[in-house]
């Protein structure tokens, strides 16, 4: 049987084919980049629920097991961050999938870092991003950057602006001409975190790292210690260290070396609960060494 002759390709079809292919590849690239940007803005940080004993008015059912909550008072627990209502016994088996709601998370300062970024659907706290962007735009050459303090009343004013307006807070030079007010507000944010940027759980490992004298071994130990941090904490630390390294590039003007910045940020980023005064005093030198090493080697460690 003679095969049917193939349909001839028209000149127009031959002309448009490369253009279609190019357009399709560009569209695919745009979709991929949009997906990457979306995932970049909305990371999947895991967060445990912040359950507190609660008395419910009227009949309530557990949102985990769907059974009735019996009793007149303290029938169950409610997540203070997302509003999930469950039995006390069910709270022990609920997955760590808390999705904080802005109706419950009403402040920026003194708020758990992971709770804040999940509530606002960002990679890092807006305070960190906005303050660092402002500092890098107009303050990198300022002498004594981060060492010199701004007026405490104005720093508190910046704090209230973030708590009130969030990402709409105005921290421009029109509102605060002195860059030391912005650096002070950033340091205050880290000091007021209920769980420090370098968490209580990870603190002993970081201090032990600071005690290592061999530079290569210290770097290796620090790399392992970073794995102990929650993802949102680690990402915020990475961003801060990259910024502080850029600050050191202007050391000739601002007089702030990695050692000087380590002195400033060591106690700000690292706090240990329930330490006696002498131990806390001895830890200061290791806190400085840890932060100094993080700044100097941020491109290797993160």
Q: Domains (ranges, CATH) in the chain?
A: 46-104 (3.30.60.20), 126-300 (1.10.555.10)
Across the strands, what pairs with 78?
A: 52, 85
Q: What is the pTM of this model?
A: 0.74
The answer to whether the CB of 234 falls within 8 A of the CB of 301 is no
Query: Residues 5-21: pLDDT tens digits?
Result: 544 555 555 555 555 54
Q: What is the pLDDT of residue 34?
A: 40
Q: What is the pLDDT of residue 44?
A: 66
DSSP 200-264: TTTHHHHHHHHT--SHHHHHHHHHHHHTTS-HHHHHHHHHHHHHHHHHHTTHHHH---HHHHHHH
Helix (H, G, I), strand (E, B) or coil at 52: strand
Q: What is the pLDDT of residue 15?
A: 52
Name the stretches of the chain with pLDDT < 70: 1-44
User: In this structure, what is the dihedral angle of CA atoms 123, 128, 130, 136, given to the nearest 10 degrees?
Assistant: -120
Residue 232: closest CA among 119, 111, 114, 129: 114
Q: What is the pLDDT of residue 251?
A: 97
Q: What is the pLDDT of residue 70?
A: 84
- For the chain, counts of helices (H) and of strands (E): 12, 3
Rounded CA-CA distance 295/301 in Å is: 9
Q: What is the pLDDT of residue 14?
A: 55
């Amino acid at each position: 049987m003679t095969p049917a002759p193939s349909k001839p390709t028209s000149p127009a079809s031959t002309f448009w084919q490369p253009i279609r292919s190019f357009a399709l590849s560009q569209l695919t690239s745009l979709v991929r980049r949009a997906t990457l940007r979306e995932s970049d803005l909305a990371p999947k940080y895991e967060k445990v629920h912040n359950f507190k004993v609660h008395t419910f008015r009227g009949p309530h059912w557990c949102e985990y097991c769907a059974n009735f909550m019996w009793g007149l008072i303290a029938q169950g627990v409610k997540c203070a961050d997302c509003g999930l209502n469950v039995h006390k016994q069910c709270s022990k088996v609920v997955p760590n999938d808390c999705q904080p709601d802005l109706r419950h998370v009403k402040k920026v300062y003194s708020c758990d870092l992971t709770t804040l970024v999940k509530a606002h659907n960002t990679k890092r706290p807006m305070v960190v991003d906005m303050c660092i962007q402002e500092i890098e735009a107009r303050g990198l050459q300022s002498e004594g950057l981060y060492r010199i303090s701004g007026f405490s009343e104005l720093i508190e004013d910046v704090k209230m602006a973030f708590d009130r307006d969030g990402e709409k807070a105005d921290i421009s030079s029109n509102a605060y001409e002195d860059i030391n007010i912005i650096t002070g507000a950033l340091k205050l944010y880290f000091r007021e975190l209920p769980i420090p940027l370098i968490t209580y759980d990870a603190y002993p490992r970081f201090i032990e790292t600071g005690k290592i004298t061999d530079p290569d071994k210290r770097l290796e130990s620090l790399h392992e210690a970073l794995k102990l941090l929650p993802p949102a904490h680690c990402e915020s630390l990475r961003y801060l260290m990259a910024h502080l390294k850029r600050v050191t590039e202007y050391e000739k003007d601002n007089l702030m070396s990695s050692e000087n910045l380590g002195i400033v940020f060591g106690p700000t980023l690292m706090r240990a609960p329930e330490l006696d005064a002498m131990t806390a005093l001895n830890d200061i030198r290791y806190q400085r060494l840890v932060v100094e090493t993080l700044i100097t080697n941020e491109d290797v460690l993160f």
